[in-house]
Structure 1
Amino acid sequence: MGHQEYVNITINDIPSIELPINVTLRGCTNESITVIANTSLALQFNRECPLYINASAYTLSSQSISYWDALNVWLGNVVSYYDGEPLILNGTVEVYATFLNGSRVPAPVLVNGSSTYILQSPGPSSLLLSINYLGVVNESLARVFVVPSTYVEAEELLNSLGNPQFLNATIASAITSGDWSLVNKIVTEYQEASSRSYDPLTQLSKYLLTQAILNGNLNGLNAASLILKYEMLMYTALASIIIAVVVAYRVTRKSRKS
């Protein structure tokens, strides 16, 4: 859109004469004009539209069609938006271009000048998206936030717990800073605590973790982490105490009998 196209109206006549040609335009504009053969029309439109062209002289006629359209560039691996800016998963940036009707443009889109561009580090980033199709160039500068796959799991946990403010703020901070250590810890430990419903200590850890997330209590998070980390040691210690009590009880009974 906004670019000129030259429509050449040519007739092969021998001998050459200045023959008037009736030209009918429909679509982008609707008009009929008369031009002299072997001339050009410069046409330009600033909207998406087809232009149907019919040229005729006496019993001769010819038809053609031209299109004015836009080249829109898109990011393909957008998982959500934050403050109106796209969140994309780390890895290879997926990009493509479409016309206004949604059909794909058969041309590659470059990211910062490269046909393959990889983003590994989470956090804010700027991407220059560009395409050249039939001599028409479109460039767009996109500001994005790169997020790990943990983001999707964190959003699922956020929704399942009713969107608690603490977790929401923690995810938002990770998006803007690129530091996902706390979010990774919460997601990993919650998944681990949810995986063994038969385990009393694990269920205790899940309860403490849930309450810590709901109340924004970092001490509760640390307590839940300790239980998960030293669970086997706690069970071993508990078993040792039980064995010691049983042994002491039996020794006491034997002493009374003797």
Structure 2
Amino acid sequence: MKICLIITTYNWPEALELSLKSVMRQSRPPDEVIIADDGSKGETKHLIESYMDKIKNLRHVWHEDNGYQRAKVVNLAIMSSEADFIITTDQDCILHKDYVLDYSLQAEHGCYISAYRINLRKELTYKILAQKRLPNMFELLTQTKWNLKHQQRIPSKWKKKTRYITTSSNGTYGCNMAFYRNDLMEINGYNENFVGWGPEDSEMTQRLINNGKKWKRIYYSAILYHLYHPELSKSNLEFNVDLLRKTIDNRLTYICNGICKSKTDVDVA
């Protein structure tokens, strides 16, 4: 199985560099790494170029900055991928060394998969950003919002703690999620009507559920650490939540403004 890791980014190269450093230490490297860039300036491009010879099959997908359009740029990244299995995360996330390995072991046809995130405290976030380094184990144990089932990798508990959900996608985290590419193509990918911060991941995964897929929610696996940052603007939240509500109420499986028309827009470095 060929695995693609997609990392979304926007004008925070300091955080993206820590994420890329965590990709470099993966016990099972992804077959592709695609940076889905929502219109960042040149500093981000230069950073990515500096990692091209350090990370195998690293690519940069960019579109013009026209506000928060995460759904669109993830579609562009997926269209540029040749992988069977897609993992999505964000620039502000640091991956456990077995993160990709865990998803490869947990992959299951008929399901999309998600795990949780561990939030780093503000002081630790600023410290490691300034020092351009990954946190050590002592810092992760003492300066995070501790949660055993999301912070300890214990494969013996995987089957016992796995939950299969067939009705609601509420609580899906797009920063720690994976799915089969073919499953996503069946529902036409992300809904590009989402502009601004909002539940674009929940809407997309709700259509997966409506289309007969299960949500495999995993614990003690796929560990991910989230850097502190102020909340993003939620000025368009009401409109975006309404899109999700329509998908739930009408049991939608397919949207028109999705991935199928994105191929001609992609610019891959």
* Same fold (TM > 0.5): no
The higher-RCO structure (CA 8 Å, 6+ apart) is: 2
TM-score (norm 1): 0.22
Q: Select the structure of larger CA radius of gyration.
A: 1
TM-score (norm 2): 0.21
From the two aligned structures, give the one with the greater strand fraction: 1
